[in-house]
Amino acid sequence: MAKYYPDIAKGAKDLFTGALSYENKFSLDAKPISGGSISASIKNADTPTGTLTTSYVVDAITGEVELSKSGFSKGTVKYNAKDSTTQATVSSLSNPLDGLKLSNSTLIGQVGVKSEITKQLKGTLSACYVSGPGAMGVETAISKAGGIGATSFAAQCKVGDVMYSAKTTMKLDAYQVAAVNGVGAGETVGVAVDGKAGGDVKASLAYAKKLGGGHSVKCVVVNPVKKSFDPVVSANFVTSVLPKTTTTVAVQVDKALKYKYGVQLATKA
- How far is the C-alpha of 19 from the C-alpha of 237, rounded, in Å? 9
pLDDT single digits (tens) 16-46: 999 999 999 999 999 999 999 999 999 987 7
**What span, in angstroms and rounded, lies between the C-alpha atoms of 267 and 243?**
8
Using CA atoms, how far apart are residues 204 and 140, in angstroms rounded to an integer? 27
Name the architecture of domain 12-268: Beta Barrel (2.40)
Query: pTM of the predicted model, to two decimals?
Result: 0.88
Instruction: Give pLDDT tens digits along the chain (269 positions).
Output: 899 999 999 999 999 999 999 999 999 999 999 999 999 999 987 788 999 999 999 999 999 999 998 899 999 999 999 999 999 999 988 888 888 999 999 999 999 999 999 988 999 999 999 999 999 999 999 998 889 999 999 999 999 999 999 999 999 999 999 999 988 888 999 999 999 987 789 999 999 999 988 899 999 999 998 878 899 999 999 999 999 999 999 999 999 999 999 999 999 98
Neighbours of 165 (CB within 10 A): 24
Domain map of the chain by residue range? 12-268
Element (H, E) at 245: strand 245-254
Bridge partners, 251 (sequence order): 235, 261
In the structure, how many helices (H) and strands (E) does the chain have? 1, 19
Residue 94: what pLDDT?
A: 84
